[in-house]
Structure 1
Amino acid sequence: MRWDDFTGPDDLRAMQDMCSRLWSPAARFHPGQLAWNRYSAPIDPARPRAGEAIAVWRDAAGRAVGFGWAEAPDWLELQVDPAHPAVAEDVLDWFEEWSDAPSQSVLLMDDDPIGEACRPAGFVPDETAPFLRHHLMDLSALPSASAVEGYRFRHVEPGEASDRAACHAAAWSDFGPSEVTGASYALLMTAWPYRADLDWVATDASGRMVAGALVWLDPATGVGLVEPVGCVPGHRGRGLAGAVTLAALHALAHAGGRTALVTPRGDAGYPAPMRLYQSFGFHPGVRTVTWTRSLGR
């Protein structure tokens, strides 16, 4: 089994195709999540950002069967084809060799077989860490879209990357300055499987975007990932985040989506988004678990 350093969009697409091929309700990644993670900040498309590393493992036919995405020296995201379990050990070894962090963490789904490789490598589950919980909805049971007086709901148009980025940055300002820029959002809009008809916003009376919900449809599985959703602070408390999400989900169903997926925090530290999605009819499923090891460096 060979691995190569990440060299650009073709490698990302190979990783996304693997995620699509392996997707199940218990899978860690949806192809849209990789696109959002990659393009939600200014980057050179041909290489990882400073301080991160990405590698892709392929089988003899050249098909991706695993990847490691070190988002930081102390944080690894990975996925491995269950038909090639030994690749998990290779990814962990690759991460240890690349990283100089004294402690390292890996985010897995609960009961992920990769845990069998993590434990011998010194990782142990951290049950106190925040976690995400997958939530799924059959779109045949989608509630009716709702209106909010004084606001209009529509999808994003080509050429609106700067306005859409500004809406997102303002909506997420509570968590610190956003890395999303007009340039990065314009690049995001060119990435598979982005579709402008599934990128919905609420606009106020002046036409300013004040809330947004982006949905990523994987046509092979019919699953649409909701990522991200937000409302700018001055317009909260009116139900806009929920209404724009429902509008985007109806667009997803119209586009042929069969299932919606969202992955909010599942712990008590940030429960509001999970409660919102469950009020629409999303049902909780599997959760993530953080595995951590200390290398004593």
Structure 2
Amino acid sequence: MTRRDFSGPGDLRAMQDLCSRTWTPTSRFHPGQLAWSRYYRPVDPFALEATEAVSVWAQDGHAVGFGWAEAPDWLELQVDPDHPEVAALVLEWFEEWSDAEEQSVMAVEGDAAVEAALADAGFLPQEQEPFFTHHVLDLEALRPVPAVPGYTFRAVQSDEVVERAAVHVGAWSDLGPSQVDASSYGQLMAAWPYRGDLDVVALDASGAMVASALVWLDPATGAGLVEPVGCLPAHRGRGLAGAVTLAALHALRDAGGRVAQVTPRGDDAYPGPQRIYRGLGFEPTARVLTWSRSAG
């Protein structure tokens, strides 16, 4: 087994391949999530920020685990279930790299290898903190797209990067400054497994984009990830978020997808998104909890 530090898009693809090969409805990551996490803000494709680090463990030419330290106090990881020993190696690497006094990791509840390694390393599950819940939907049970008077739905065109970035920023900026811009969205559109036919927007009567839903299809598994969905504040309360998501899911099924996944907040403090997705037919599977430790 070997370990290498991140050096460019090839390592991201190796990480995505691991996610694809081992995907189940309760896996920590879908390949599309890694693409979004990498390119939602302007980045150098071949370099990381000074405050982040990524390392990949491989055997026989395939990634069997990775650690993505998004900040000195925050780690994301995924491990091949056939190589549970890698979880401890990732945590050791993170401890050596990080100088943060408090460290946190997100893990899927029931991922025995990762949970055991976290417990051995002194992490504890934070049951009272916000958590996420994987939801899945069999696309055979997909509901029709409802008509929303005054609005139409269509896929984004390749020359609409500026407009597409703007509708995302407008939808999310009330939660805090968004780092998405035309440059980053252009990088995102060039990344695997982005597909323009699965990037769907709602248009108002003037033809302006007012809501959006992006779905990532992994062709190897037929699983599509919904990430992200947004609606401009002035157009909320009309069912647009759910309708544009359904339009994107119909495009996913037409493209060969068999199942869809989404991972909204699951705690009672932020119930809106999960209520929308369950209203579309998504069913909850596993929770994603934060584990934390004091490194002092």
- TM-score normalised to the size of structure 2? 0.98
- Provide, for residues 116-154 of structure 1, a one-character-per-residue CA deviation record: whole Å limited to 9, x for no partner: 111111111111111110111110110111121111110
For residue 223 of structure 1, report the CA deviation from its aligned partner.
Answer: 0.6
Code of the residue aligned with 1:285 in structure 2: it is T
| Cα separation, 2, equivalents of 1:120 and 1:253 | 42
Partner amino acid, structure 1, of 2:224: G
Residue 180 (structure 1) aligns with = 180
Q: What residue number does 2:230 align with?
A: 230
State the partner residue of 2:65: 66
Uncovered stretches (5+) of structure 1, i.e. residues with no partner: none
Instruction: Look up the SS of the partner of 2:210 in the other structure.
Output: strand
Deviation at residue 98 of structure 1 after TM alignment:
0.8
Q: Unpaired segments of 5 or more residues in structure 2? A: none
Aligned length: 295
Deviation at residue 50 of structure 1 after TM alignment: 3.2
Structure 2 CA distance, aligned partners of 1:234 and 1:50?
38
Deviation string 1:237-260 (CA, Å, 9 cap, x unpaired) is 111111100100000011110001
Q: Letter of the 1:49 partner, please give it.
A: E
Partner of 2:163: 163
Matches within 5 A, 1:122-201: 122-201=122-201
Q: 1:1-297, aligned counterparts within 5 Å?
A: 1-59=1-59, 61-112=60-111, 113-296=113-296
Q: SS of the residue aligned with 2:158?
A: coil
Give the letter for the 1:162 counterpart: V
Over the aligned positions, Cα root-mean-square deviation in angstroms equals 0.8
Deviations 1:260-283 (A, max 9, x none): 101010001110110111111111
Q: Give the Cα separation in 1 of the matches to 2:49 and 2:241.
A: 31
Q: CA deviation at 1:208?
A: 1.2
- Secondary structure (helix, strand or coil) at the match of 1:26 reads coil
Distance in 2, Cα, partners of 1:2 & 1:147 = 53
What is the CA deviation profile of residues 154-180 of structure 1, one whole-angstrom value per residue up to 9, with x for unaligned ones?
Answer: 000001111111100010012111000
Distance in 2, Cα, partners of 1:185 & 1:67: 25
Query: What amino acid sits opposite 1:288 in the alignment?
Result: V
User: How far apart in 1 are the matches of 2:50 and 2:237?
Assistant: 38
The 3-state SS of whatever aligns with 1:116 is helix
- SS of corresponding position for 1:119: helix
User: 1:47, CA displacement in angstroms?
Assistant: 1.4
Structure 2: distance between partners of 1:251 and 1:82: 32
- The offset of 1:25, in angstroms, is 1.4
Q: How many Å separate the matches in 2 of 1:235 and 1:83?
A: 47
Residue aligned with 2:206, SS: coil
Aligned counterparts of 1:161 and 1:81: Cα–Cα separation in 2 = 35
Whole-angstrom distance in 2 between the partners of 1:246 and 1:49: 36
Specify the SS of the correspondent of 1:130.
coil
In the aligned structure 2, how far is the partner of 1:188 from the partner of 1:253? Answer: 22
Q: List, as ranges, runs of 4+ consecutive aligned residues in structure 1 with deviation greater than 4 Å.
A: none
1:139 counterpart letter in structure 2: L
Measured after TM superposition, the shift of residue 185 of structure 1 is 0.3
